[in-house]
Amino acid sequence: MRVATRYIVITGFISLVALAWFFWDSSQRAIRTVLREGAAAIEAKSIASAMSHVSRRYLDEKGLNYLAVHKVLGVAFERFQHIDVRLGDVTVEITGDRAAAQVALQVLVQVQNDTHYVIGQPGVPALVTINLSKEPLAWRVISVNGIHISRFGL
């Protein structure tokens, strides 16, 4: 009887730890989800979904703010027939309510049946820094550094 009780307690504890780990709100996991969902929204050309991951306080090294990013995405979605976002290695550093994600990124676009890299090169992704802030409901992008918008031809 004692062995059965011990077995049940140990199995219950292991199950509890496994469930806690699975359902725990991991900031690393949440940030990676923001990046994946943002990439999928851009590929789907959904401005609303893409911008839902961007903070209204967005301001990058080029001086682009939230409204400018919204405009750039709208123009890009109209101009490019197809957008393929390839997220490579992602390294996330979290400090309090801020995070910096280093991402190996390639973005291919199709214009008039020609495919071009607008971020990265064939076999050589660009290293991009995506800064995020923990807002009340989710992690949101507050700046993206390392992207040269002039390559978009916008």
**Residue 52 to residue 74: CA distance in whole angstroms:** 14
Smallest CA-to-CA distance from 95 within 25, 22, 23, 27 is with 27
Give yes or no for residue 153 having a pLDDT over 60: no
Percent of the chain with pLDDT over 70: 89
- Say which CATH topology domain 26-152 has: Nuclear Transport Factor 2; Chain: A, (3.10.450)
Model confidence pLDDT, tens digit, residues 3-53? 677 777 788 778 776 666 665 658 889 999 999 999 999 999 999 999 999
Q: What tokens does 70 get? A: 């919204």
Instruction: State mean pLDDT over 130-146.
Output: 93
Model confidence pLDDT, tens digit, residues 116-126? 888 988 989 99
Q: What is the mean pLDDT of the chain?
A: 87
Provide the residue type at 135 as one letter: E
Q: What tokens does 103 get? A: 């991402």
Asked if residue 34 lies in contact with residue 141, where contact means CB atoms within 8 angstroms, the answer is yes
**Residue 20 to residue 7: CA distance in whole angstroms:** 20
Domain boundaries, the chain: 26-152
